[in-house]
């Protein structure tokens, strides 16, 4: 059997390791080295009901928080698998050498948004980087043993799909321009769609959205594209949004706005149970609401001055260094101005609980896949979802992969959208796919995107534009407010819309969410 993994971040590495541990070889394709993947930027932690904090945590609690946080739009069976698999994943990373903070009971866990128990294992606020370093080292062992063959500096050129069956890929070496065509099963693990919102996200420039665009063009279904997470605490810096990790609030940071000249800790007043740690969609929407009030200033602040010095040193030293470097503000001494920014894409390539896409022999995992997070992702569930998703996809491939006849070499020249075209698309989506949306603005977005069609210079630009249009179509279809999708013209959550929005080459429609099985 021949297996190709597209993307070498956490999900791709997890898939590669799962295959290698079973003695199965794979080809691991990435545009840059794993050290450059967006996974290294994940900060606050990874969720697992380890129950080390004396709070009677359980897998059932983790499932309940994840489903409620996602406003019941995720597949409950997939979420149950994710949460049940989480403790073993964190224990494995500890065995691989990740220096999680520990005490006499085991791995320490911190509070995180939308969760009623301390459930987030962490290494300061560099958890993603720590997991990645350990996983890169472990996969390296299998590279030397010949089970993982890396194709670094390669991009996906074409998916070879016939009769809704994927037969392989053609990838292009970005250094030499040479193509390589490989037949076999394919796992896509290529990250979220930040490339639709260039300069407006906390993510990397490498998550270009070109693979999602290629999938859509080739008939693979995408889902829930309207579910775009705005993280409440980001700051605009040169060329991007800088994330202030949710761990800052998990360790005691407080949001306030000046109202009639006095600080108003609005989250604490409105949500006395979880306060500043309500799910991200709720916090971001509240920030928009308070700054729109006549009696409030337009800036929300994150006050971390009450966090103890010891916590800063042991758990947040890297966050402080980052804020001081990019903002010249010492967060230990003065509040930091924050505003919501695009951070995560809950939608993407539609997968089932086993990480199959709508196309046979094609699988997807990590942020590129629509799975686990429903209408809003909880902090700490992205690292978990990437590792568990990669592992699950690989296990499914191991069960299903069949020999595939070699496919003819493909000589198509790799094309990408120009920076100017990307900027034009991002400009439109950024203006209209905001935290609060309404039909008239979404129709305006559609109209402006349609007007861009004649300026698409190549196939890559045409399909990127089509992906942008599909995203707006999903947002138009969902006539309700749920999680990250807030419609001013449909402000209520509609039980009839508790479905996935699905888009394919020709249609956008609703699909039922799987029923919970025993």
Q: What span, in angstroms and rounded, lies between the C-alpha atoms of 394 and 344? A: 23
Q: Which alpha helices (H) appear in 406-438, and where do they start and end?
A: 419-432
Task: Quote the least distance from Cβ 271 to another protein, whole Å.
Answer: 30
* 142 vs 363, beta carbon nearer another protein: 142
Please name every residue paired with 512 in a beta bridge, in sequence order, or none if there are none.
499
* 30 vs 357, beta carbon nearer another protein: 30
Q: What span, in angstroms and rounded, lies between the C-alpha atoms of 179 and 391? A: 28
The closest alpha carbon to 393, from 35, 85, 36, 182, belongs to 85
Determine how many CB atoms are found less than 10 A away from the CB of residue 36: 16
> Which residues are near another protein by CB under 8 A?
32-33, 35-38, 40-41, 94-99, 102, 123-124, 126, 129-130, 133-134, 137-138, 140-141, 143-144, 150, 152-153, 175, 199, 204-206, 237-240, 242, 322, 325-326, 419-420, 423
Q: Which alpha helices (H) appear in 22-105, and where do they start and end?
A: 59-69, 76-95
Please name every residue paired with 172 in a beta bridge, in sequence order, or none if there are none.
155, 179
Task: Quote the least distance from Cβ 336 to another protein, whole Å.
Answer: 15
Query: Position of tokens 């990127």?
Result: 464
Task: Quote the least distance from Cβ 115 to another protein, whole Å.
Answer: 24
Q: Is residue 403 classed exposed, middle or buried when 0-12, 13-18 and 19+ CB atoms within 10 A define those classes?
A: exposed
Q: What span, in angstroms and rounded, lies between the C-alpha atoms of 79 and 335? A: 37
Query: Position of tokens 């949500």?
Result: 271
Strands (DSSP E) along 16-78, which ranges? 26-29, 46-47
* 276 vs 322, beta carbon nearer another protein: 322
Query: Position of tokens 């270009």?
Result: 208
* 409 vs 419, beta carbon nearer another protein: 419
The tokens for 209 are 């959205």
130 CB contacts (<8 Å, ≥6 apart)?
98, 99, 123
Q: What span, in angstroms and rounded, lies between the C-alpha atoms of 494 and 480? A: 6
* 131 vs 445, beta carbon nearer another protein: 131
Could you list the active site residues?
A: 280
Contact 128, 41 (CB under 8 A): yes
Task: Quote the least distance from Cβ 400 to another protein, whole Å.
Answer: 30
- Report helix, strand or coil for 303: strand
- Report helix, strand or coil for 163: coil
The closest alpha carbon to 89, from 53, 64, 111, 62, belongs to 62
* 91 vs 352, beta carbon nearer another protein: 91
* 94 vs 301, beta carbon nearer another protein: 94
């Amino acid at each position: 059997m021949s297996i190709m993994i597209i993307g070498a971040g956490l999900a791709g590495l997890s898939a590669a390791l799962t295959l290698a541990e079973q003695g199965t070889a794979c080809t691991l394709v990435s545009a840059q080295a794993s050290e450059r993947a967006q996974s290294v930027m994940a900060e606050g932690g990874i969720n697992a009901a380890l129950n080390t904090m004396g709070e009677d945590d359980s897998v059932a609690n983790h499932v309940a928080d994840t489903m409620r946080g996602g406003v019941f739009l995720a597949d409950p069976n997939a979420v149950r698998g994710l949460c049940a698999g989480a403790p073993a994943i964190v224990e494995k990373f500890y065995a691989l050498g990740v220096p999680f903070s520990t005490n006499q009971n085991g791995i320490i866990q911190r509070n995180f948004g939308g969760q009623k128990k301390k459930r987030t294992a962490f290494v300061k606020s560099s958890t993603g980087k720590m997991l990645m370093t350990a996983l890169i080292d472990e996969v390296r062992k299998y590279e030397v043993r010949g089970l993982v063959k890396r194709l670094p500096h390669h991009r996906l050129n074409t998916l070879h799909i016939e009769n809704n069956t994927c037969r392989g890929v053609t990838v292009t070496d970005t250094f030499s321009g040479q193509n390589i065509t490989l037949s076999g099963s394919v796992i896509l693990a290529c990250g979220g769609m930040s490339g639709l919102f260039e300069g407006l996200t906390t993510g990397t420039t490498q998550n270009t959205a070109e693979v999602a665009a290629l999938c859509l063009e080739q008939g693979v279904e995408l889902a829930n594209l309207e579910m775009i997470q705005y993280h409440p605490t980001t700051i605009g810096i040169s060329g991007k949004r800088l994330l202030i990790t949710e761990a800052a609030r998990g360790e005691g940071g407080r949001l306030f706005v000046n109202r009639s000249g006095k600080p108003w800790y609005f989250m604490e007043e409105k949500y006395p149970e979880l306060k500043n740690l309500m799910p991200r969609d709720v916090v971001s929407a509240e920030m928009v609401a308070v700054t729109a009030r006549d009696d409030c200033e337009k800036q929300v602040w994150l006050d971390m001055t009450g966090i103890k010095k010891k916590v800063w040193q042991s758990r947040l030293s890297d966050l402080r260094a980052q804020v001081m470097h990019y903002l010249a503000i010492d967060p230990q001494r003065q509040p930091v101005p924050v505003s919501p920014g695009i951070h995560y894409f809950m939608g993407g390539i539609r997968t089932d609980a086993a990480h199959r896409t709508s196309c046979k022999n094609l699988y997807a995992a990590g942020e590129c896949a629509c799975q686990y997070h429903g209408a809003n992702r909880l902090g700490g569930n992205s690292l978990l979802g990437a590792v568990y998703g990669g592992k699950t996809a690989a296990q499914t491939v191991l069960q299903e992969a069949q020999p595939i006849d070699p496919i003819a070499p493909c000589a198509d020249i790799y094309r990408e959208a120009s920076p100017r075209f990307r900027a034009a698309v991002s400009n439109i989506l950024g203006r209209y796919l905001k935290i609060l949306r309404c039909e008239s603005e979404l129709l305006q977005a559609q109209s402006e995107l349609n007007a861009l069609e004649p300026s698409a210079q190549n196939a890559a630009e045409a399909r990127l534009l089509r992906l942008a249009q599909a995203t707006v179509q999903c947002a138009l279809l969902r006539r309700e407010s749920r999680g990250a999708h807030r419609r001013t013209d449909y402000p209520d959550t509609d039980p009839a819309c508790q479905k996935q929005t699905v888009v394919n080459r020709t249609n956008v429609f609703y699909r039922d969410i799987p029923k919970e099985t025993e």
